[in-house]
């Protein structure tokens, strides 16, 4: 195990499972002292190991953010990076998504990210560290039923662009990581949420959007099967953290890499047709 990073701290939110947990473990193996934000005590006990210190963190709770900052300060070590990984997925057509669900998505994915970043920026200025925001290919292009989730990730992309330019003169780097399809617990929870939202629709809404939701579920199932593992994806986050001069953006998975290139050149309506064709193929493959 490398010990070259043993005097540096990493803060990562959303580390209970999936990409967050895999990244926290990988960074601890490299020698970092990792403060890994989790939501429940049982998640903390499962994650704990040498160099990996779980800490209760709901990014929508200012008191828990303050406690994390206090704990980090007691370590007396420079902060290498904050990795904003906490996320909440909810998928349904814009017309049918309850406003409280929209607010939950943005509270976690956008305002929670901002709150944690603001709290840690004084430390990052002192250490010349970096902000690593886990976005999504859905932050570059939106699919049907992805309005809330993609909307929040589009916001993350814009915030990250502004922050990168604001912090560059002060020696703090800002990096966006854009995963595509992944085999994670978050994807499973997203499917469960989608079923719940479908059940809450009115009969009229269900008749209008049932096909859209079924296509979404088929597409996400196919992407999970073909997606990269959390452990593979964590290696990209490690590069974003440790590269001497990181790139502004990293993609994870072939689908994310291809889509990020296509959207630069294709007209919107042609891209819409390509997305519709891809979704139809995924739906037929699942039947």
pLDDT band at 184 (very low <50, low <70, confident <90, very high): low
State which residues form the domain around 105.
9-183+228-274
For residue 61, CA distances in Å to 19, 149, 264, 280 come to: 22, 21, 38, 41
For residue 120, CA distances in Å to 35, 66, 79, 87, 98 come to: 13, 10, 9, 18, 32
- Phi–psi pair at 202, nearest 5 degrees: -70, 160
Q: Residue 23 in contact with residue 83, Cβ under 8 Å?
A: yes
Determine, yes or no, domain membership for 218.
no
| Angle at CA of residue 109, ends 236 and 227, nearest 5° | 40
Maximum CA extent, the chain = 60
- pLDDT at position 218 is 85
Query: In the β-sheet with 173-179, what is the strand arrangement from edge to edge?
Result: 52-56, 33-38, 9-12, 79-84, 130-134, 173-179, 249-252
Burial of 261 (0-12, 13-18, 19+ CB in 10 A): exposed
- pLDDT tens, residue by residue, 48-84: 999 999 999 999 999 999 999 999 999 999 999 999 9
pLDDT band at 196 (very low <50, low <70, confident <90, very high): confident
Determine, yes or no, domain membership for 212.
no
Q: Which two tokens stand for residue 54?
A: 């779980």
For residue 206, CA distances in Å to 143, 197, 215, 221 come to: 18, 10, 13, 21
Over range 170-194, report the average pLDDT: 84
Q: List alpha helices for the chain, DSSP H.
A: 18-29, 41-47, 62-75, 99-106, 113-127, 147-167, 185-200, 203-226, 230-242, 254-265, 268-286
- pLDDT tens, residue by residue, 87-104: 999 999 999 999 999 999
* pLDDT tops 90 at residue 134: yes
Spell out the residues 6+ positions from residue 100 whose beta carbon is closer than 8 angstroms to its own. Answer: none
* pLDDT tops 90 at residue 185: no
Q: Which two tokens stand for residue 259?
A: 């889509």
- pLDDT at position 64 is 98
Q: Which CATH number fits the domain that encloses residue 139?
A: 3.40.50.720
Tell me how far apart the alpha carbons of residues 174 and 130 are, in angstroms, rounded to a whole number. 6
Determine, yes or no, domain membership for 198.
no
- pLDDT at position 1 is 39
More reliable by pLDDT, 121 or 276: 121
Of these residues, 5, 149, 209, 219, which one is catalytic?
Answer: 149
Over range 234-260, report the average pLDDT: 92
pTM of the model: 0.92
Tell me how far apart the alpha carbons of residues 31 and 9 are, in angstroms, rounded to a whole number. 9
* Number of domains within the chain: 1
Determine, yes or no, domain membership for 142.
yes
Determine, yes or no, domain membership for 205.
no
Q: Which two tokens stand for residue 217?
A: 């579920």
pLDDT band at 179 (very low <50, low <70, confident <90, very high): very high
Q: Residue 83 in contact with residue 132, Cβ under 8 Å?
A: yes
Q: Average pLDDT over the chain, rounded to whole?
A: 92
Share of the chain above pLDDT 90, in %: 75
Determine, yes or no, domain membership for 63.
yes
Determine, yes or no, domain membership for 89.
yes
pLDDT band at 2 (very low <50, low <70, confident <90, very high): very low
149 is catalytic: yes
Over range 262-274, report the average pLDDT: 89
Determine, yes or no, domain membership for 282.
no
């Amino acid at each position: 195990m490398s010990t070259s990073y043993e005097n540096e701290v990493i803060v990562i939110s959303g580390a209970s499972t999936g990409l967050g947990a895999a990244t926290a473990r990988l960074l601890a193996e490299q020698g970092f002292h990792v403060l890994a934000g989790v939501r429940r005590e049982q998640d903390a006990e499962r994650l704990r190991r040498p160099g990996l210190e779980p800490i209760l963190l709901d990014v929508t709770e200012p008191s828990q953010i303050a406690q994390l900052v206090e704990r980090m300060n007691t370590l007396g070590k420079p902060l290498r990076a904050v990795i904003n990984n906490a996320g909440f997925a909810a998928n349904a057509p814009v017309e049918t998504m309850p406003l409280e669900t929209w607010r939950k998505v943005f509270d976690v994915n956008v305002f929670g990210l901002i709150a944690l970043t603001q709290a840690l920026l004084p430390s990052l200025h002192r250490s010349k560290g970096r902000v690593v925001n886990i976005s999504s290919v859905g932050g570059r292009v939106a699919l049907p039923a992805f309005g809330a989730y993609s909307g929040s990730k589009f916001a993350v992309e814009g915030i990250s662009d502004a922050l990168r330019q604001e912090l560059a003169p002060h020696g703090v780097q800002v990096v966006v990581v854009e995963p595509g399809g992944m085999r994670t617990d978050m994807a499973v929870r997203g499917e469960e949420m989608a079923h719940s939202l479908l059940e809450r629709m009115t009969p009229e809404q269900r008749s209008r959007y049932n096909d859209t939701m079924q296509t979404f579920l088929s597409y996400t199932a196919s992407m999970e099967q073909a997606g990269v593992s959390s452990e593979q994806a964590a290696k990209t986050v490690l590069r974003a953290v440790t590269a001497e001069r990181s790139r502004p953006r990293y993609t994870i998975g072939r689908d994310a890499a291809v889509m990020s290139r296509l959207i630069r050149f294709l007209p919107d309506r042609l891209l819409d047709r390509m997305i519709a064709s891809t979704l139809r193929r995924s739906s037929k493959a699942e039947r």
